[in-house]
Amino acid sequence: MSLPDDLSPEQDLIKGLTSTKNCHYIESVFDLSEDRVEKLKRIKPKALGIRCRRTDCDKALHCFDAVKVKPKFPKGKCQECGKELVKWDEAWLRDIRDTDQKFAFFETEWIRHFFFHVPITNRIRKYAQTHGLEELGRILEKQLRNKKMLRYIPALDSTQTKMLDGTIVHWARHAVACCCRRCMSYWHNIPLEQELTDADINYFRALVLKFISKRIPELSL
């Protein structure tokens, strides 16, 4: 359902609070337009349905986060339906010469698929073009060297990376699973107790720039 033109996002949010899913809940990324992305960016992601553990297994969109104390299924399987779709030994390889397979693995998870397909708006494109790939890479490095990312801080984890209201760097981080330490743990095999290394950060920089080049081809490497 699209956002009525005569309502602000805040007004529409209040109107929708009485239902389980408010009237701007995102059913599918393919329902979004550039305009709607910009209208919804000020609303909390959870109210929009944008969250890490969301699944839609019937549409092949899963969640493999088994970092919880008592996961529903063994590590590596979808925590909703139990399917094992990712070849983790391949996903964990630090090889970016051909990222197509790695990106295909990411897209099996609901939250990553969302950011692989959310419409690129003028705001997002302009930010990317203004900075260029090299500067975007430096921006990413600065974010990853923040103490909230270098080390796992349970109370802060999963809050480090903006969503719709972010930049292409934030979107890329969600897409390639370097948005928080928990995602890094199961997608990139980086232990929670380990501080990020220069090698980790350089690898994520390469992945993020590959993703940005994919979503905004005029910035191709």
Res 69: pLDDT:
66
* pTM over the 0.75 mark: yes
Q: Within 10 Å of residue 141's Cβ, how many Cβ atoms?
A: 15
Quick one: CA dihedral 148, 152, 153, 155, positive or negative? positive
pLDDT along the chain (221 residues), means of 10: 40 40 88 97 96 95 84 91 95 92 97 98 98 97 96 91 97 98 96 96 98 92 59
CA distance linking residue 33 with residue 25, whole number of Å = 14
Domain boundaries, the chain: 1-49, 53-219
